[in-house]
Amino acid sequence: MANLVPPHGGKGLTCCLLEGAELEAEKQKAEGLKKITISPREEGDLIMMGIGGFSPLTGFMTKADWKGVCDNFLTADGTFWPIPVTLSTDKADADSLADGEEIALVSDSGEIMATMKVTEKYEVSDADKKYECEKVYMGEGTETAEEFWKIAEEDHPGVQMVMEQKDVNLAGPVKVLSEGEYPEKYPEVYLRPAESRKLFEDNGWSEVAALQLRNPMHRSHEYLCKIAVEVCDGVFIHSLVGNLKPGDIPAEVRVKCIDALVKNYFVEANVLQGGYPLDMRYAGPREGLLHATFRQNYGCSKMIIGRDHAGVGDFYGMFEAQTIFDKIPAPSDPGKALLCTPLKIDWTFYCYKCDGMASLRTCPHGKEDRVMLSGTMLRKGLSEGTPIPDHFGRDEVLEILREYYAGLTEKVEIKTHSAATGDSK
């Protein structure tokens, strides 16, 4: 019998999604409540609370939670959590709400996604937002806050997301009424944590490694997965199907690429593909921790962490997303600690002299013999129509991607950075 890692927080899967008669009654009640429009990022967070992906969270964070997470990676009750999960609104709407009032949370498209009991309102000034950005998004790639702010507001999508938040955060428990478009749009891959756990158990897997994907799988991703397959019972290729930054490749194209790769280059019994509904935050090391936290809820005991996990530009140091796992607090209650541990893998590449995939730990040759693999460089080459180096990606995957880029009427400039080009090595 499979013995999977328990959900994060010590309370099992905490699912806020209503079903059946309870759902219908709450939907009817929601029609008469004051409505607050939420951002796409907040919508994704809400759905994750609905399906248990953000266990043990059952609502948006209080000020004490927000500050504890920013400062110490801990919520007010001492549970490990790496990135604030907050809901903002403008001051006029916040002032119109009474303490304890129930409200309806509405998506950009007008769908009522949830109801929420407002237990706390707290202002977030520009100084507070900058504080959050420096704590959560400023990595070792920029040495000082002054250096960080010279480029962050223009070049860091996660920082932009925080700074564009409204002036007041609302905290309180939620009742989730919808999973949005995801179940219908991605029926083959969209999974709730209870469903992935059942599939792992049916396969007899106990030790499961997760691969985080926001780019199409290239040879380096394939190699990382195969390393994990050798040391674990199975690998969960888990793609983000929420929103990305301009220029990133949409989820349906990436899913098609993964299908082609798994079908042609893996023992399919050892791999499971899934999708989850969050937007990328591009928080580098902190996001690596978040990815491990919710992968624990999906049933994964290992998180594959490479050289620049969830990075953007040169904001983060090489392998900072690995070393941060060694610095996080260990709560006194083991159930509140992060139990999904990193599978740390060195910089990987194709080496002509080794005649195969290798890493800095296994290959003795020089940079001139290596094909540095990066999702950014792959997107840049495909977008600009330049030749893709041999051994960068599998032919079946490149064919799908070329077809996608050929159909684009507008292209976004893809900026490169040292992690993508190999210039830092």
Whose tokens are 């490169």? That residue is 416
Cα(115)–Cα(173) distance, rounded to whole angstroms? 9
What is residue 143's DSSP assignment? S
277 SS3 class: coil
Cα(256)–Cα(140) distance, rounded to whole angstroms? 35
Cα(215)–Cα(408) distance, rounded to whole angstroms? 17
Rg of the chain's alpha carbons, rounded to an integer? 21
30 to each of 116, 176, 288, how far by Cα in Å? 10, 11, 35
CA-nearest of 10, 168, 157 to 75 is 10
Cα(275)–Cα(332) distance, rounded to whole angstroms? 33
224 SS3 class: helix
Catalytic pick from 192, 197, 215, 243?
A: 215
Strand partners, 341: 302
| Residue 275: HSE in the Cβ half-sphere, 13 Å Cα cutoff | 29
> Residue 270 catalytic?
no
Dihedral (CA of 303, 354, 375, 222) sign: negative
Cα(104)–Cα(101) distance, rounded to whole angstroms? 10
Q: Which residues contact 199 (CB under 8 A, 6 or more apart)?
A: 191, 272
> Residue 214 catalytic?
yes
What is residue 61's DSSP assignment? P
CA-nearest of 256, 276, 255 to 183 is 276
Q: Are 129 and 103 in contact (CB under 8 A)?
A: no
Q: Which residues contact 360 (CB under 8 A, 6 or more apart)?
A: 346, 347, 425
Catalytic pick from 41, 192, 197, 214?
A: 214
Using alpha carbons only, give the angle 245, 163, 85 rounded to the nearest 5 degrees: 80
397 to each of 237, 247, 375, how far by Cα in Å? 16, 18, 13
| Residue 312: HSE in the Cβ half-sphere, 13 Å Cα cutoff | 25
Sheet containing 348-351: order of strands: 356-359, 348-351, 370-372
Which residues are part of the catalytic machinery?
214-215
